[in-house]
């Protein structure tokens, strides 16, 4: 049966701008006046005060909830939702999910469609935050079904947007964008209390994806839409301290990055100045501006921001996480660019250690996740049985008969398809291995030419016979020094190596059967990745992608499949079967 299953690798999340995890540097009045043992005044024991203190004083907010529970000021399920909101806003996704699941057991929630759907939305956010695709998909499906049955367009928009995210991360980028934009337009038309909160999330998510895909003009349009939302009235939403400053500061950071990518440097610098003057006491999100600082040669500021973030993560015990792994990689790259190679190497070694630790943690927690999924499924089944038990009994025999017939037909088709794919993949693997073997033999006998100034042309500007030697010298250096493993290797770098201008470089690359410089660099990365997949079956696809210079996993998967005719996972599986 294992040969009939399809596994889709979708781990690239990234870094959606959600609620802040750090406590502000400037102490609040509450922090000054109320320590852990000081009784809280009655004026503070309210739900509104919990939301107000969410980002600035989480400990006091938690004490307020505990006191509300002790006094029985609100029903248990309402306090469970309140505590879940406090936790999810501070990125404690697993803990928040536990409170939301407890609230879902309440009859008051089950019998109130609006509350029920809002909790399904929260569960989607929790599982998305810990990269649990299976549970995310299940709750998206539940929310979409419930929203359409009740005619709730706002909740339907939320479900559709998350469906688009899942499609995007499963390499169906265009359909993903289509669903997300459709959902965002639907939300804009809704009269929903939390409309602007959801629109902020949607636009920030789209910004990250558009930047990854280098769709900078589209990202600029998204920024303009986000600016309208950030400045819109949000009176219906909870009053959370620093929320407006947070959103505005994030907006200016994104503007600086995108405008710089579009080579509108003066405008980018103006956006940076606005960022710097907006809420200077608020530093929890400063890392967002770091790519612009590095690109504009303000590496000292970037290192300072990254160091502060690293300290904050360590202070809260967040040392083995995707956030820390991403930070360590960024630190390694920025130190490398500043020529501090020893420090850069230390960060890359720590990055490798965290990656290995994450892999071990995921393996050790698989049994616990299975048990939790079973319990969640059991509770959902019990809720559904309350309304549908009679219909299910009457339809059981008919359903099983139809299912068996369909299963037999599907299994026959899958078996034939699996056999065809196995033979096809085996042939592809053999071709790839022969290609890599031939390249390895060629590299072992090829001597790296001495670098020379060979960017000569004839009087009419056409390339002379020395272009072949220019390419060989450049290609040899790229291979010997593994320069293609640097994800930031660009056409300008190749021009400096070959000592030619961009027009000549384009000609000599095209003469050697490459479409362009990106195609040239990516082919080397993909062939290196294929070799790593063969030599290191224990490495994850994420690790292989990062090691070959293509850290964006969806892009890596797409390019690998385009070049070799199969995905990295299919290649590894076919290679294993052939052995």
pLDDT, tens digit, 9 for 90 and up, residues 381-400: 555 565 565 566 667 777 78
pLDDT at 10 over 90: no
Query: What is the pLDDT at residue 3?
Result: 40
The stretches of 316-446 forming alpha helices (DSSP H) are 322-337, 341-364, 366-445
**Six token digits for residue 67:** 């006191």
Least trusted range by pLDDT, from 22-26, 286-290, 550-554 = 22-26
**Six token digits for residue 130:** 């810990």
Q: Are 267 and 280 contacting, i.e. CB atoms less than 8 angstroms apart?
A: no
Q: Which residue has the tokens 């299940």?
A: 138
Least trusted range by pLDDT, from 130-134, 337-341, 366-370, 384-388 = 366-370
CB atoms inside a 10 Å sphere around CB 548: 25
Q: Give the whole-angstrom CA distance, residue 557 versus residue 344.
A: 28
CA-wise closest residue to 58 among 198, 241, 194: 241
Query: What is the pLDDT at residue 360?
Result: 65
pLDDT at 14 over 90: no
Query: What is the pLDDT at residue 313?
Result: 79
When the pLDDT of each residue in the chain is averaged and rounded to a whole number, the result is 79
**Six token digits for residue 125:** 């956010």
CA-wise closest residue to 166 among 156, 158, 155, 176: 176
Q: Which residues are bridge partners to 463 per DSSP?
A: 457
CA-wise closest residue to 414 among 97, 88, 6, 55: 6
Query: What is the pLDDT at residue 566?
Result: 92
Higher pLDDT among residues 448 and 62, named by residue: 62
For 22-45, what is each residue's pLDDT tens digit? Answer: 333 333 334 334 556 688 888 889
- For 518-542, b/e burial (b = at least 16 CB within 10 A) is eebbbbbbbbbbbbbbbeeeebbbb
Q: Is 290 left (phi over 0), alpha (psi -120 to 50) or beta?
A: alpha
pLDDT at 500 over 90: yes
Query: What is the pLDDT at residue 460?
Result: 42
Query: What is the pLDDT at residue 142?
Result: 92
Q: Give the whole-angstrom CA distance, residue 79 versus residue 69.
A: 7
Please state, for a pLDDT cut of 70, what percent of the chain lies above it. Answer: 76
pLDDT at 568 over 90: yes
């Amino acid at each position: 049966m294992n040969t009939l299953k399809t596994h889709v690798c979708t781990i690239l999340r990234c870094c959606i701008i959600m609620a802040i995890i750090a406590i502000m540097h400037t102490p609040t009045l509450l922090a000054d006046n109320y320590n852990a043992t000081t009784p809280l005044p009655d004026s503070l024991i309210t739900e509104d005060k919990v939301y107000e203190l969410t980002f600035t004083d989480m400990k006091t907010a938690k004490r307020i909830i505990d006191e509300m529970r002790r006094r029985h000021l609100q029903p248990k399920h309402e306090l469970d939702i309140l505590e879940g909101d406090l936790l999810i806003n501070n990125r404690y996704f697993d803990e928040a999910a536990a409170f939301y699941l407890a609230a879902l057991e309440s009859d008051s929630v089950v019998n109130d469609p609006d509350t029920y759907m809002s909790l399904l939305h929260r569960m989607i956010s929790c599982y998305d935050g810990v990269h649990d695709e299976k549970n995310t998909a299940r709750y998206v499906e539940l929310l979409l079904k419930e929203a359409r049955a009740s005619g709730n367009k706002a909740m339907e928009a939320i479900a559709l947007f998350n469906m688009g995210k899942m499609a995007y991360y499963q390499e169906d980028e265009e359909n993903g964008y289509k669903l997300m934009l459709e959902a965002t337009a639907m939300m804009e038309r809704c009269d929903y209390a939390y409309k602007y909160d959801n629109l902020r999330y949607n636009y920030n998510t789209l910004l990250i994806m558009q930047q990854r895909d280098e769709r900078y003009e589209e990202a600029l349009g998204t920024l303009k839409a986000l600016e309208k939302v950030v400045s819109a009235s949000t009176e219906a939403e909870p009053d959370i301290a620093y929320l407006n400053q947070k959103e505005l500061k994030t907006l200016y950071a994104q503007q600086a990055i995108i405008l710089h990518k579009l080579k509108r440097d003066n405008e980018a610098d103006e956006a940076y100045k606005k960022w710097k003057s907006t809420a200077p006491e608020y530093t929890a999100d400063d890392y967002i501006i770091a790519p612009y600082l590095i690109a504009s040669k303000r590496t000292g500021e970037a290192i300072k921001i990254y160091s502060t973030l690293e300290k904050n993560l360590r202070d809260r015990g967040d040392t083995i996480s995707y956030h820390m792994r991403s930070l360590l990689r960024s630190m390694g790259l920025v130190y490398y660019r500043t020529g501090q190679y020893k420090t850069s190497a230390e960060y890359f070694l720590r990055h490798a250690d965290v990656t290995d630790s994450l892999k071990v943690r995921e393996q050790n927690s698989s049994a616990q996740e299975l048990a939790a999924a079973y319990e969640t499924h059991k509770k959902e089944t019990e809720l559904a049985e309350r309304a549908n038990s009679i219909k299910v009994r009457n339809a059981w025999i008919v359903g099983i008969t139809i299912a068996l017939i369909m299963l037999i037909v599907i299994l026959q088709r899958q078996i034939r398809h699996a056999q065809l794919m196995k033979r096809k993949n085996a042939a592809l693997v053999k071709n790839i291995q022969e290609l890599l073997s031939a390249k390895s033999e060629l590299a072992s006998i090829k001597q790296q030419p001495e670098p020379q100034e060979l960017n000569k042309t004839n009087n009419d500007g056409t390339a002379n016979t020395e272009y072949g030697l220019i390419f060989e010298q450049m290609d040899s250096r790229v291979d010997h020094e593994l320069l293609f493993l640097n994800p930031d290797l660009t056409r300008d770098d190749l021009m400096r190596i070959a000592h030619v201008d961009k027009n000549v470089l384009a000609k000599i690359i095209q003469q050697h059967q490459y479409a362009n410089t990106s195609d040239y660099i990516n082919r080397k990365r993909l062939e290196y990745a294929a070799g790593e997949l063969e030599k290191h079956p224990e490495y994850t696809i994420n690790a292989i992608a990062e090691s070959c210079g293509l850290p964006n996993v969806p892009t890596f998967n797409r390019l690998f499949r385009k070049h070799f005719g199969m995905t990295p996972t299919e290649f590894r599986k076919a290679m294993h079967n052939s052995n």
